[in-house]
Amino acid sequence: MAISDVQEYIHLSDEQIEELGRELDAIRAEIEESRGADDAAYINRMIKIQRRLAAAGRITLFASKYKPAFFAGAAMLGVAKILENMEIGHNVMHGQWDWMNDPEIHSSNWEWDTAQPAEQWKHSHNYVHHQFTNVLGHDNDIGYGVLRMAREQKWHPMNIGQPVYNALLATLFQWGVALHDLDLEAIRKGRKDPKEMKRQLKQIRRKVSKQLSKDYVVYPLLSGPAWLSTMKANAVANLMRNLWSYMIIFCGHFPDGALHFTEEELEDETRPEWYLRQMLGSANFDGGPLLHILSGNLGFQIEHHLYPDLPSNRYAEISVKVKDICRRYDIPYTTGPLHKQYGQALRTIIKLSLPNGMTTDDTPIDPTPVRERRRLTDKERQPRRTEMGAWSTRRTA
């Protein structure tokens, strides 16, 4: 299925799609023009809170032989790791704060507290996932190479074990992500350049050694007699981060209503079509400010996919406008409470462990079934607008 055949927006004329693109461009321009000191203060505050929390957690774990200190230290460290990975690392590496010109808080320089090297994340996530969002055969985030997440994917008897693979993926999430950019599918098919694979493996080995020595050697040794409980608490903190980030990420593209695509026309899709694919392939979840901060503002997954390099603290205000656009253009805006969104993703994992014939499709029923959904003919359409928008008047040298 090409993007232009997707039922959810086939009712729009070319002119309406262009107009929708212009409206989304205008939201972007507004944020670009207004970002400044308040946004910079936000990310600096987040980094300060995260570092204080991590330090408090590490210090508390010196007394981790006592149960209250064990649990308090592990919880503080776990939350610090979640903040670092979700709201800080992920968003900094998208270039959301590059405009500040701060050499530390910069996409080219940030290295995050997880096993995957930042460079590989910027390829597998920023490029492959964000460019080929929900495109089968390209976006390796669809099931992370181990789960069948779309009915269009061929069923294999190995899929019966999906509930177990899913539990393992959630528990060991940082290690799964660490191997993500190796592209196991390409290796299996012999398409992967061996030199590139060797370079990546070397990077992963270096990063994994650093992470393991930090959490399981250096800090336990610093705890002296409490070394074993510190080591255990660090493992608990890492597990907390693994389970949380797994759940948030799976809520972004797998609840009912988030669509999958095939690769036709992607190379030459226009910006408005790209916007549409991002909107239709992503799903939000509802919650308060604290939940959104702890999830890296990925509860606004639709807005994040439309504007991955705009500051995450602005997604809430952007979402009001995007929701309104979706309503006016009759495009689905998939959202719901976190438990419902994750429940749907989990149900998909379990259902798709079986062949399609044994399960029912959970694709939501068209919200406006009475409306005629087809492309307009040339005669029915308004004449093409001749004036040029701001994007196309820019000189291309």
Partner 1 sequence: MTTLHPGPDLSERRHDLRHGVPVPFASDTHAGYAVDHRRTPTEPADLGAVVKARAIQCALSRVCGLCGMSMSGTTTFLGSVMDAESNTFAFPPMHPHCVDFALDTYPALGVPVLGQDLVRREWVVVETGGFELERPSGRGEPVLFHPNSITSSTVVAAPPAG
Residues at the contact surface with partner 1, assessed by CB under 8 A: 21, 32, 93, 95, 98-103, 106-109, 119, 122-123, 126-128, 130-131, 138, 190-193, 195-196, 267-268, 270-272, 274, 308-309, 389, 391-392, 394-397
Q: Closest separation between CB of residue 131 and partner 1, Å?
A: 6
Q: How far is the CB of 196 from partner 1 (least distance, A)?
A: 8
Least distance between partner 1 and beta carbon 177 (Å): 16
For tokens 């461009």, name the residue: 25
| Nearest approach, Cβ of residue 18 and partner 1 (Å) | 8
Task: Name the residue nearer to partner 1 (CB basis): 48 or 271.
Answer: 271
Burial of 240 (C-beta count, 10 Å sphere; 0-12/13-18/19+): middle
Helix locations, 179-314, DSSP H: 184-188, 194-213, 219-222, 227-253, 271-281, 289-294, 301-306
Token pair recorded at residue 317 = 């205000």
- Torsion angle in degrees (nearest 10) through CA of 125, 129, 131, 132: 160
Question: ∠ at Cα 314 (15, 300), nearest 5°?
Answer: 70
- Nearer of residues 40 and 291 to partner 1, judged by Cβ: 40
- Hey, is 377 helix, strand or coil? coil
Alpha helices in the chain (DSSP H): 14-34, 37-60, 67-83, 90-93, 118-121, 130-131, 162-171, 173-178, 184-188, 194-213, 219-222, 227-253, 271-281, 289-294, 301-306, 315-329, 338-351, 390-393
Instruction: Using alpha carbons, select from 360, 343, 362, 354 the residue that is nearest to residue 153.
Output: 354
Q: Nearest approach, Cβ of 380 to partner 1 (angstroms)?
A: 22
Q: Which is nearer to partner 1, 34 or 363 (CB)?
A: 34
**Cβ proximity to partner 1, 101 vs 360, nearer residue:** 101
- Choose between 138 and 351: whose C-beta lies nearer to partner 1: 138
Amino acid at 284: N
Q: 97 vs 342, which CB is nearer to partner 1?
A: 97
> Do residues 220 and 228 lie in contact, with contact meaning Cβ atoms separated by under 8 Å?
yes
Nearest to 260 by CA among 168, 362, 189: 362
- Minimum distance of partner 1 from residue 164's CB (angstroms): 31
Comparing CB distances to partner 1, the nearer of 121 and 250 is 121
Comparison of 60 and 124: residue with beta carbon closer to partner 1: 124
Q: Please identify, using beta-carbon distances, which residue of 33 and 378 lies nearer to partner 1.
A: 33
Nearer to partner 1 by Cβ, of 130 and 340: the residue is: 130
- Rounded to the nearest whole angstrom, what is the least distance from the CB of residue 269 to partner 1 in the complex? 8
β-partners of residue 337 are 286
C-alpha to C-alpha distance for 392 and 297, rounded to whole angstroms: 31
Q: Least CB distance from residue 186 to partner 1, whole Å? A: 8
CA distances from 392 to 18, 267, 275, 395 (A): 12, 19, 17, 8
Shortest Cβ 267–partner 1 spacing (Å): 6
The least distance separating partner 1 from the CB of residue 180, rounded to whole angstroms, comes to: 13
Q: What is the 3-state secondary structure (H, E, C) of 192-211?
A: CCHHHHHHHHHHHHHHHHHH
Which two tokens mark 308? Answer: 């991955």
